[in-house]
Amino acid sequence: MEIKAIGCEPLQLKRVLIENGHTLEVYRETGGYKSLETAFGMSADAIIQEVKDSALRGRGGAGFPTGMKWSFVPRDSPKEKYIVCNADESEPGSFKDRYLLEGDPHALIEGMLIAGFALGAATGYIYYRGEYNYLIDIMDEALREAREAGLLGENILGSGFSMEIHTHTGAGAYICGEETALLSSLEGFRGHPRMKPPFPAVEGLYASPTVVNNVETLTSVPQIIEMGGITWRDLGTEKSGGTKLWSISGHVKKPGVYELPMGYADMEKFIMEDCGGMLRDDKKLKAVIPGGSSVYIMNAGQIVGKGVTLDYEGLVEAGSMLGTGGMIVMDETVDIMESTKNLTEFYKHESCGWCTPCREGTDWLVKIFDRISAGGGRPEDAQLLLDICDNIEGKSFCPLGDAAAWPIQSAVKRFPEDFRHWLITKTNGDLN
């Protein structure tokens, strides 16, 4: 597995690539906690403005502008405020946060402290997916180091600002990556999403103002304070600031975590050269899911020779989305009906059961896929799948329903031959 930066100096990966980068000693030697000191000399408004200027967008998949999210917190509210880090990385194809949590825990602590200082929060929680249990010890040790060095707890570095950060664990539920479901889970309940509004910024954890940010979002914050929002933004593009971690898996020679500047050109070069090209030289590129399993699947024709830039806008233009940057590359040996079935099983398993369209819809989708793969495909099944997706998309309580529908809608449209094979060749009918 590769871990490297291409087209930029490693920023997110700065300490991940250094031996003992997870220790306080190395973190400080490489400029760590300087941004926190800088932040202590700034006003809350100035910090939030830097984050706005940076054009940082949430790295957990939704891509909501971070500075704007922070500005929604009513800082004059008498209630406690909370900073919650979403380390529930569960999107199939995404595994970048794991390396940050393992290799650079202090960057996350520093990012949370700066967020806490700007928003007036005295407590932070890091919500780990249960399967990342083995990473919690690394963070607990980093928190202990920070506490001993006066970087955490009462009166941090003599600033008068006090904050405590705790680790917390989930227990195997993809839905808890959705921020309101995460908060339900953090309160000890089933991971059901909550009605929005009120948004977490106003009523989040324990009905108090809460900011929930992804790991990579928060580790970007010290960089932004260090170099200034505009400078950080200009590493990328005007609308997609900074650099971004991409997780690459599937049929490439060099899967791994790559840091690229936003707007990197282009996707074909990235897969075919930077990631070493196709795993087996005699097999052609067939499909790529560029942003984690929840985004539209792309066929080779949408990538090869198309100059797709790797940023939020570039991928939308190319017919998909950036999501979490979890890229799954598939060669011609993969049957897209089967790969879509695999992902639909995932969404069925992970549907929390709270709302009917998602719970029942994903269940029916899997039943139909099971029948198709057992040889019982009917020509009308493609339309049937799309009809069910229409009844889920936009009608479910939270975005998990959309995430289940999009892979199917795009697969049926962009890989008609793979469905034709199962629905016509095997049943001798016509595919509409």
**Which positions touch another protein (CB under 8 A)?**
1, 80, 89-95, 98, 125, 129-134, 166, 168-175, 185-191, 206, 247-251, 255-257, 289, 293, 326, 328, 330, 333-334, 339, 342-343, 346, 348-354, 359, 362-363
Contact 266, 308 (CB under 8 A): yes
- Shortest spacing between CB 271 and another protein, in angstroms: 14
- Shortest spacing between CB 55 and another protein, in angstroms: 27
3-state secondary structure the chain: CEEEECCCCCCCCCCCCCCCCCCHHHHHHCCCCHHHHHHHCCCHHHHHHHHHHCCCECCCCCCCEHHHHHHCCCCCCCCCCEEEEEECCCCCCCCHHHHHHHHCHHHHHHHHHHHHHHHCCCEEEEEECHHHHHHHHHHHHHHHHHHHCCCCECCHHHCCCCEEEEEEECCCCHHHHCHHHHHHHHCCCCCCCCCCCCCCCCCCHHHCCEEEEEHHHHHHHHHHHHHCHHHHHCCCCCCCCCEEEEEEEECECCCEEEEEECCEECHHHHHHHHCCCECCCCCCEEEEEECECCCCCEEHHHCCCCCCEECHHHHHHCCCCCCCCEEEEEECCCCHHHHHHHHHHHHHHHCCCCCHHHHHHHHHHHHHHHHHHHHHCCCCHHHHHHHHHHHHCCCCCCCHHHHHHHHHHHHHHHCHHHHHHHHHHCCCCCCC
Residue closer to another protein (CB basis): 85 or 431: 85
Residue closer to another protein (CB basis): 152 or 289: 289
Residue closer to another protein (CB basis): 13 or 248: 248
- Shortest spacing between CB 98 and another protein, in angstroms: 6
Residue closer to another protein (CB basis): 39 or 205: 205
- Shortest spacing between CB 214 and another protein, in angstroms: 13
CA angle, 274 then 306 then 415, to 5°: 95
- Shortest spacing between CB 31 and another protein, in angstroms: 28
- Shortest spacing between CB 224 and another protein, in angstroms: 26
Residue closer to another protein (CB basis): 210 or 293: 293
- Shortest spacing between CB 71 and another protein, in angstroms: 26
Residue closer to another protein (CB basis): 51 or 352: 352
- Shortest spacing between CB 176 and another protein, in angstroms: 9
- Shortest spacing between CB 371 and another protein, in angstroms: 19
Residue closer to another protein (CB basis): 236 or 256: 256
Residue closer to another protein (CB basis): 168 or 395: 168
Residue closer to another protein (CB basis): 69 or 348: 348
